[in-house]
Amino acid sequence: MSDSRPQSSQQLFTEISSEGQLSVSCKTVAIPQPKPNEVIVKIEAAPINPSDMWPMFGPADLREASFDDENLILKAPVHKSMLMRIKSRLDQALPIGNEGAGTVVAAGDSPQAQALIGKTVGVLTGAVYTEYACVPIQACMLHNEGTTAKQAASSFVNPLTALSMVETMKREGHSALVHTAAASSLGIMLNKICLAEGIDIVNIVRKQEQVDMLSSLGAKHVLNSSAESFKMDLFNAINETGATLAFDAIGGGDVVSDILTAMEAVGSQDAVGFNTYGSEANKQVYIYGGLDFAPTVLNRAYGMTWNIGGWLLMRFLGSLDIKEVLALHKRVADEIDSTFASNFSKEISLKQALEIENVAEYMAKKTGEKYLINPSL
Amino acid sequence: MSDSRPQSSQQLFTEISSEGQLSVSCKTVAIPQPKPNEVIVKIEAAPINPSDMWPMFGPADLREASFDDENLILKAPVHKSMLMRIKSRLDQALPIGNEGAGTVVAAGDSPQAQALIGKTVGVLTGAVYTEYACVPIQACMLHNEGTTAKQAASSFVNPLTALSMVETMKREGHSALVHTAAASSLGIMLNKICLAEGIDIVNIVRKQEQVDMLSSLGAKHVLNSSAESFKMDLFNAINETGATLAFDAIGGGDVVSDILTAMEAVGSQDAVGFNTYGSEANKQVYIYGGLDFAPTVLNRAYGMTWNIGGWLLMRFLGSLDIKEVLALHKRVADEIDSTFASNFSKEISLKQALEIENVAEYMAKKTGEKYLINPSL
């Protein structure tokens, strides 16, 4: 263990008080002595993902936010009626930032930890909006020589989600899949994986420019849900691909039901007799996001062999053994600049991440726009 | 093979023409020579279950129905707009009647078939609204000496559904369950099974008299969904029982979402920190009926570990091996007059089943009222 390790770190924390006030602040914390299987990573790049935003700001009214430049605290009110829903987190200063990347600057005594010194690693800890992070080596993804922290910033959430969706498809016996909100970074990765593996994917997007963008990457089936012909297009694409599985990032509205309805229409098109319970294949939709908070509305016009459920990356990864996880890590590391390349629209410091005008911009979650925090700035 | 076997049978058939006319008729059909593993059953009791009604009448407008007494045909119009939805069945005369019971009067050459001669059996064939049914022995449930056909009429659908729900609960690792529309015949059986096995069940009904009825059978948790306190009652009952599984017969409306919301509130009541993805236990609702055709509305306020899906008895039974199926049969046969006792409000002939006033009554699907067809009348 080197004695030259850094002693303290600037780190972002979020807290909502039971009086209804959000405070997101930048504090100085001590860096612990790493245990044998831990390393200290100097974080140089950490994306602000959609999945970071709810922990960071909760249901606060950001239109009323103010930033105290001297004490580095963003404050915003939370309506009292929301507090019951988030009671598990009240009055606790909680670290934030799901994933990031940087250089290992110190390590615990184990040979595995020592071997990482000087390497670029991606980390998944839920506390990476910090200058220095102390993380177990199991939460590190080792990158190849030459990969930069910025390239490695999004090593986990999107790449492993895309790979895990394809893996879920294979394990559950489906042969093609449908993806909504498909023009996202994740959607682009998913298309690259499917193209490379010869898997048919039906992409659903909302705008013609997103159709054009995915088509230019080689995607065969890209449907515009705003088009009048959408339901017929969906039937045709599912008929051509045989997809019986969908991953939905939207959640609200009719899209889940529309997908199942099309799958049933395809599955039952040659049925004879009563067909009371519909087609036999399991028609599965996993909801993995909630871009639309409106209720999900199911017309149930798809027989009796269908399932809808929440899908969570960490739960899927938990079902894998360590060898399978490491194989996924290796694939991400090897293809971090191609299949799993991420684009960031702006790089900001920890302090800038609390500035009102930046918050307003990254909270807009525009497709193709993503902020990167660089705590070393 | 006896030569005294009956030669012909009166049998009900249903047909919807592509011009939009429903005909449910009583026809004379020849009885085939049974194959080695088949038996001829003289059907003496066959219930009209909710699951028989859609095959029998489809989406016909029964307010416009007429009955031709001489030719034994009930006719009713089907709106043209409905025909696409049921195109798999158009212009085919299809047999009806899922289950029934009677006496084996002839048998194929195999010893297993011959051994059934003279016995009372329940049968599940989808074609039991007939005087004589030729059925494979695998579709027979052998009843004990002394059991009557009327007692055995409902040997399959409700008893095996109730047993399979409990079996599903055990296999999927849940320890208690919720049941909606719980005052049904099925619901009563389910309560008897749960009481006998010491399993906690949360019953949801709509009326105080149904609360009273189930309570009088010994049910501990019976909630009235019409009560103002329903959501709090549901939370409390799920909290006491730890139920993470529900079977829902209703389908439409908010009840599925209400159940998941209560399960999540119970599962997360002691959570600390963000709890972004909600409680860890899988919260599962199976929809097995559709008493309410309205859309299912999901508020998705239950984290990411939940599933909703169709549940089908035949698919569950198909996942069992033959020994497990026979064990279920034996239990039903042994408890046909206690746990699995059915009550019938009226016994009618094949012809009477087509008479307008009877159709109107049994189509009303009133809780506790069930018609029995006795083709030997």
User: CA angle, corner A304, sides to B95 and B332, nearest 5?
Assistant: 65
pLDDT for position A3: 52
Domain count, chain B: 2
Q: How far apart (Å, rounded) are the C-alpha atoms in residues A113 and A53?
A: 31
Question: Per-residue b/e over B123-145, b at no fewer than 16 CB within 10 Å?
Answer: bbbbbbbbbbbbbebebbbbbee
Q: How far apart (Å, rounded) are the C-alpha atoms in residues B249 and B286?
A: 9
User: CA angle, corner A338, sides to A334 and A344, nearest 5?
Assistant: 115
Q: List phi, psi (to 5°) of A316.
A: -65, -45
pLDDT for position A102: 98
The verdict on residue A63 lying in a domain is: yes
Q: How far apart (Å, rounded) are the C-alpha atoms in residues A62 and A357?
A: 11
CA nearest B94: which of A275, A104, A96?
A275
Q: Which of A276, A308, A310 sits opposite B304 (nearest CB)?
A: A310
pLDDT for position A343: 87
Q: With pLDDT > 70 as the criterion, what percentage of chain A qualifies?
A: 98
pLDDT of A312-357, one tens digit each?
999 999 999 999 999 999 999 999 999 999 989 899 999 999 999 9
Shared-domain flag, residues B123 and B171: no
The last residue of a domain, from among B299, B316, B333: B316
CA nearest A257: which of B252, B306, B58, B54?
B252
Contacts of A135 (CB under 8 A, 6+ apart): A38, A39, A41, A123, A125
Residues A208, A212, A218, A223, Cα dihedral to 10°: 10
Quick one: tokens of A364? Answer: 């807009």
The verdict on residue A125 lying in a domain is: yes
Shared-domain flag, residues B205 and B346: no
At residue B96, what is the residue type? I
Contact list, A268 vs chain B (CB under 8 Å) = 88
Taking residues B236-256, what's their average pLDDT?
97
CB B308 within 8 A of CB A309: yes
Q: Which helix (H) or strand (E) holds A233?
A: helix A230-241
The average confidence (pLDDT) of chain A is 95
Shared-domain flag, residues A112 and A88: yes
pLDDT for position B4: 66
CB A283 within 8 A of CB A302: yes
Shared-domain flag, residues A164 and A302: yes
Taking residues A254-277, what's their average pLDDT?
96
A306–B310: do the CB atoms touch at under 8 Å?
A: yes
CB A22 within 8 A of CB A15: yes
A312–B304: do the CB atoms touch at under 8 Å?
A: yes
Q: Which helix (H) or strand (E) holds A333?
A: helix A322-334
Taking residues B309-313, what's their average pLDDT?
96
Contact list, B308 vs chain A (CB under 8 Å) = 298, 307-309
Shared-domain flag, residues A140 and A170: no
CATH number at residue B66: 3.90.180.10
B304, B306, B316, best to mutate vs chain A, most A CBs in 10 Å? B304
Quick one: tokens of B98? Answer: 């899922």
Q: How far apart (Å, rounded) are the C-alpha atoms in residues A185 and A177?
A: 17
Question: Per-residue b/e over A295-316, b at no fewer than 16 CB within 10 Å?
Answer: bbbbebebbbbbbbbbbbbeeb
B307–A312: do the CB atoms touch at under 8 Å?
A: no
For residue A1, pLDDT beyond 60: no
pLDDT of B185-218, one tens digit each?
999 999 999 999 999 999 999 999 999 999 999 9
CATH number at residue B262: 3.40.50.720
For residue A132, pLDDT beyond 50: yes
pLDDT for position A2: 47
The verdict on residue A214 lying in a domain is: yes
Q: Which of B275, B298, B305 sits opposite A295 (nearest CB)?
A: B298
Q: How far apart (Å, rounded) are the C-alpha atoms in residues A216 and A35?
A: 48
ipTM over 0.90: yes
Quick one: tokens of A357? Answer: 């005008």
For residue B2, pLDDT beyond 50: no
The verdict on residue B96 lying in a domain is: yes
Shared-domain flag, residues A257 and A114: no
Distance from CA of A308 to the nearest CA of B (A): 5
Q: Which of B92, B272, B297 sits opposite A297 (nearest CB)?
A: B297
Shared-domain flag, residues B138 and B228: no
pLDDT of B158-187, one tens digit each?
999 999 999 999 999 999 999 999 999 999
pLDDT for position B369: 77
Contact list, A266 vs chain B (CB under 8 Å) = none
The verdict on residue B253 lying in a domain is: yes
A276–B51: do the CB atoms touch at under 8 Å?
A: yes
The verdict on residue B84 lying in a domain is: yes
Shared-domain flag, residues A221 and A255: yes
Contact list, A288 vs chain B (CB under 8 Å) = 304
Contact list, A295 vs chain B (CB under 8 Å) = 257, 297-300
Distance from CA of B197 to the nearest CA of A (A): 29
Coil, strand or helix at A220: coil
Shared-domain flag, residues B311 and B350: no
For chain B, which residues lie within 8 Å of any Cβ of chain A, measuring from their own Cβ? 51, 54-55, 85, 88-89, 92, 94, 251-252, 257, 268, 271-277, 287-288, 290, 295-301, 303-312, 314-315
Distance from CA of A181 to the nearest CA of B (A): 18
CA-atom Rg of chain A in angstroms: 22
Shared-domain flag, residues B145 and B25: yes
Distance from CA of A370 to the nearest CA of B (A): 21
A257–B89: do the CB atoms touch at under 8 Å?
A: no
For residue B116, pLDDT beyond 50: yes
A300–B297: do the CB atoms touch at under 8 Å?
A: no
The last residue of a domain, from among B300, B316, B332: B316
Closest residue in B to A297 (Cα) is: B297
For residue A209, pLDDT beyond 80: yes
The verdict on residue B93 lying in a domain is: yes
A200 conformational bin, left if phi > 0, alpha if psi -120 to 50, beta if neither: beta
Taking residues B288-293, what's their average pLDDT?
91
What Å distances lie between residue B207 and A71, B76, B203, B375, CA to CA?
60, 34, 12, 35
Q: How confident is the model at residue B1 (pLDDT cuts 50, 70, 90)?
A: very low
Quick one: tokens of A150? Answer: 């910025």
Q: Which residue has the higher pLDDT, A140 or A3?
A: A140
pLDDT of A85-129, one tens digit each?
899 999 999 999 999 999 999 999 999 999 999 999 999 999 999
Coil, strand or helix at A193: helix
User: CA angle, corner B302, sides to B301 and B305, nearest 5?
Assistant: 145
Shared-domain flag, residues B223 and B169: yes
Q: Which of B89, B296, B309 sits opposite A307 (nearest CB)?
A: B309
pLDDT for position A356: 95
Contacts of A295 (CB under 8 A, 6+ apart): A252, B257, B297, B298, B299, B300
What would the DSSP string read from start to end of A241-268?
Answer: H---EEEES-EEESHHHHHHHHHHHHHT
Q: Model pTM greater than 0.90? A: yes
The domain of A80 spans 8-154+342-373
pLDDT of A38-89, one tens digit each?
999 999 999 999 889 999 999 999 999 999 999 999 999 999 999 988 999 9
CA nearest B283: which of B266, B264, B309, B310?
B264
Quick one: tokens of A110? Answer: 């184990």
List, in sequence order, the alpha helices (H) in chain B. 50-57, 111-114, 149-152, 157-171, 185-197, 208-216, 230-241, 255-267, 313-318, 322-334, 356-363
Distance from CA of B82 to the nearest CA of A (A): 13
Shared-domain flag, residues B186 and B129: no
CA nearest B10: which of B118, B132, B111, B95?
B132
Give me the helix-helix angle, A255-267 and A230-241, nearest 10°.
Answer: 50
Strands B200-205 and B176-180, bridge-based pairing: parallel
The verdict on residue A335 lying in a domain is: no
